[in-house]
Amino acid sequence: MLMVREAKLLVTHCFLPMNWILRKIQKSKILFCNSFAAQLHDINLPLKFKCNPTVRSLRGERESDMDLMIHSSTFLLPDFPADNGFSLLYSLVVLNQPLPKFTPLLWNHACFRVCADGGANRLYDEFPQLFPDEDAFAIRKRYRPDVIKGDMDSIRAEVLEFYSNLGTKTIDASHDQDSTDMHKCVAYIRDLPNLDKQNLCILVAGALGGRFDHEAGNINILCRFSTIRIVLLSDDCLIQLLPSSHHHEIHIQSSVEGPHCGLIPIGIPSKRTTTTGLQWDLTDTEMRFGGLMSTSNIVKGEIVTIRSDSDLLWTISIKKA
């Protein structure tokens, strides 16, 4: 009825043949419906229309406008490069697993340090071994955590007393049995007042190795705090989340990391992932558990770029000193 009413108006005011006007209006409506359906199809709604090239172009413009997130493992270097260009604020969480030998380096880069319960035992026991030519008491006094937080069921009594006497703040969070000690520590750092959350990066030492359920729980923390940069570290590798809300540019520190790397979809499958700078680059590639994953890949360039429609885990090997 609406199309006939429009045609009558054109006949009345423009003196055009009714049949010709109806054909033109019908054609215009079909073109509009196809274009609209193409846009719906392009955002993965179940309509079986061929995608309009113009819509793809608009989608490309939206993707290019997406914020770029730059990553660099300069925290593995003794000194930040003069042309670093990164203004991240590092905090360190020490977990109750064997600590990477470079943990003192992370400690020096961090402005705030938290031990998760039994992580204080690791700090107390392992740091003096990293400095065999120095007095153990002096080392323990030098590397004093700002906070020890957790269920307090793993930390030894003498370790708790030692750091408490040095002025370390201790927080018993045993009332909360629904979150891990790492979760409690990350949340504590996140909630610190006067901390630049936008440039915050939390380094987690002792996050990998040991029981797999602990590792899986630590990886889950990356997803639960997806708006915060968190890097899980062991002697062998690092893992961090690449949120799909950003495009990513990873500046490889080839003197301390690589060449082996991997990209793993987390949460949901990735329908489209594109990379540059890898030996086996991806081009709109689908990745999922039970299907293809980009594991055992090799870094080939100084910069790796990654675009994906789902969150990914980025992992890269760490070179032995």
SS3 category, 91:
strand
Residue 244 has what DSSP assignment?
Answer: T
Q: Which CATH superfamily is domain 86-235 in?
A: Thiamin pyrophosphokinase, catalytic domain (3.40.50.10240)
Instruction: For residue 176, name the pLDDT band (cuts at 50, 70, 90).
Output: confident
The overall average pLDDT reported for the chain is 84
Rounded Cα distance between 37 and 47, Å, is 7
Strands, E assignment, the chain: 68-72, 89-94, 112-116, 147-150, 169-172, 200-205, 229-233, 237-242, 247-251, 257-265, 270-276, 285-287, 294-298, 303-308, 312-318
Q: Pick the closest to residue 114 from 73, 170, 166, 174 (CA basis).
A: 170
pLDDT in tens, 249-272: 999 999 999 999 999 999 999 999
pLDDT in tens, 13-32: 444 445 544 444 444 443 43
Q: Which CATH number fits domain 237-321: 3.40.50.720, 3.50.50.60, 1.10.390.10, 2.60.120.320?
A: 2.60.120.320
pLDDT at residue 1 tops 60: no
Determine if the pTM surpasses 0.85.
Answer: no
Q: Pick the closest to residue 266 from 312, 203, 235, 202 (CA basis).
A: 312
pLDDT in tens, 185-228: 999 999 999 888 889 999 999 999 889 999 999 999 999 999 99
Q: In percent, how much of the chain has pLDDT > 90?
A: 71
Tell which wins on pLDDT, 80 or 156: 156
Q: Which amino acid is at 320?
A: K
Q: Which residues is 89 bridged to in the sheet?
A: 200
pLDDT at residue 295 tops 60: yes
Rounded Cα distance between 277 and 302, Å, is 7
Give the mean pLDDT of 128-148. Answer: 97
Residue-range domain boundaries for the chain: 86-235, 237-321
